Structure 1
Amino acid sequence: MPLASQSPWRHLPNAISMVRVLLVAPICWLLWQQRWSFALLLVAVAGASDGLDGFLARHYGWQSRLGGILDAVADKLLLIACFVILAWRQQAPAWLASTVCGRDLVIALGALGWRVWIGPIEPRPSLLSKACTLAQIIYLLAVLLALAHGSALRSTVLAWLVAALCVASGVHYVLYWSRRAWQLRHANAITPPRGGLE
């Protein structure tokens, strides 16, 4: 048995992901109350934790299927909640929030379909998906930083970058997993590939 799997710290990345899930509720409350400075702080902590749990899992070999699922769920809950509330408060474009939510809805439905008709799927995001998540976090931090200083984010370049990455990673997800499903179907060997949830 690998030493990494015996380490008492092997569940630390999963614990960090769970903390990020728990941060969603207070962040939502702070955004709704328009307490931008505190929301900025917690979103920054959540964003940093996203990088930390991934680094620990890869560096020390503490990766697991549960950890991949927790990480993906934590990211999607946090980002969707933040974009929806900011759009509701008219602090982010509604079309951008719709794009973010639409991408994640496509991914969730695709993962559900794969699980029902083909089998278990191991969450392992692509570089394009990681870039999309990073861009969304940076956008949220930029918006909250501006609001905390009593202004609004004027630049639309970052918003369009986020939207472009959402569309690109969503299309990549559909094409990649559709091709994998077609290959498995025609090979008459329905086994999950070593890939991952976008």
Structure 2
Amino acid sequence: MTLPNLITIGRLILVPLVILMIVNQRWQAAFALFVIAGISDALDGILARRFGMASELGGYLDPIADKALIVSIYITLAMVGVIPVWLVILVVSRDLMIVSAVILSWVMAKPLVMAPFLVSKLNTAAQVIFAALVLGSAAFGVDPGPARELGQLAVAILTLGSMAAYLAFWLRHMAA
């Protein structure tokens, strides 16, 4: 087991803790754990690349940990009434669509290797920044003002753009 994989597993372990903090409205703890998870995500990637510790397991674990954290936080924030449900439905639907497309491709004996598109990377960045904005504003009692609506809009637009890009890619792959 490599050090980057252990760090990624640690990030997975943080997910239920962040959720628990949000549910109990312990916003500072939730924000701190979210920041730690973000730092661990950067750290495991740097260690894997710089010191040749990349592994097949890490290639699977890292995106699972990332999605587990983001999706869990978005669902929980909606459950406690901090972000709108429609945004969570959009974020979760995109991820379900991608996973379903990959599984269907395997089932139909047309395996698909998914690589992130630029719009997908921008989408992930917007999702993380918006979650940090929401958690940070709750943690420190700061009104984010129009940044909240702009962040929400950015997440929605980029999520839809990412969905469209992956769907088009998948449809071309399946038609080939």
Corresponding residue number in structure 1 for 2:37: 46
Counterpart-to-counterpart distance in 1, 2:84 and 2:121: 22
Q: Partner letter of residue 61 of structure 2?
A: L
TM-score w.r.t. the length of structure 1 is 0.79
Matches within 5 A, 1:95-110: 95-110=86-101
- Structure 2 unmatched ranges of 5 or more: none
Does the 8 Å CA contact 2:4/2:45 hold for their aligned counterparts?
Answer: yes
Counterpart-to-counterpart distance in 1, 2:52 and 2:14: 26
Does the 8 Å CA contact 1:13/1:67 hold for their aligned counterparts?
Answer: yes
Corresponding residue number in structure 2 for 1:62: 53
The alpha-carbon deviation at position 145 of structure 1 amounts to 1.0
Instruction: Tell me: CA distance 1:180–1:54, structure 2 relative to 1, closer, same or farther (3 Å).
Output: farther
Corresponding residue number in structure 1 for 2:72: 81
The alpha-carbon deviation at position 151 of structure 1 amounts to 4.5
- Deviation string 1:80-137 (CA, Å, 9 cap, x unpaired) is 1111111111111211111111111111111211222236555643332222112111
Does the 8 Å CA contact 1:17/1:53 hold for their aligned counterparts?
Answer: yes
Counterpart-to-counterpart distance in 1, 2:57 and 2:106: 15
Instruction: Tell me: CA distance 1:116–1:95, structure 2 relative to 1, closer, same or farther (3 Å).
Output: same
Q: Partner letter of residue 168 of structure 1?
A: G
Does the 8 Å CA contact 1:68/1:124 hold for their aligned counterparts?
Answer: no
Counterpart-to-counterpart distance in 1, 2:48 and 2:105: 25
Matches within 5 A, 1:1-198: 11-118=2-109, 122=113, 124-155=115-146, 156-183=149-176
Q: Partner letter of residue 97 of structure 2?
A: V
- Deviation string 1:135-163 (CA, Å, 9 cap, x unpaired) is 11111111111111235543300111011
Does the 8 Å CA contact 1:86/1:92 hold for their aligned counterparts?
Answer: yes
Does the 8 Å CA contact 2:110/2:174 hold for their aligned counterparts?
Answer: no
Percent identity (aligned): 37
The root-mean-square deviation of aligned C-alpha atoms, in Å, is: 2.0
Does the 8 Å CA contact 1:129/1:169 hold for their aligned counterparts?
Answer: yes
Counterpart-to-counterpart distance in 2, 1:20 and 1:120: 29
Q: Partner letter of residue 167 of structure 1?
A: L
Counterpart-to-counterpart distance in 1, 2:30 and 2:62: 20
Q: Report how many residues are paired.
A: 174
Q: Partner letter of residue 151 of structure 2?
A: L
Does the 8 Å CA contact 2:102/2:111 hold for their aligned counterparts?
Answer: no
Corresponding residue number in structure 2 for 1:191: none
Does the 8 Å CA contact 1:139/1:158 hold for their aligned counterparts?
Answer: yes
Which has the larger helix fraction? 2
Counterpart-to-counterpart distance in 1, 2:11 and 2:64: 10
- Structure 1 unmatched ranges of 5 or more: 1-9, 184-198
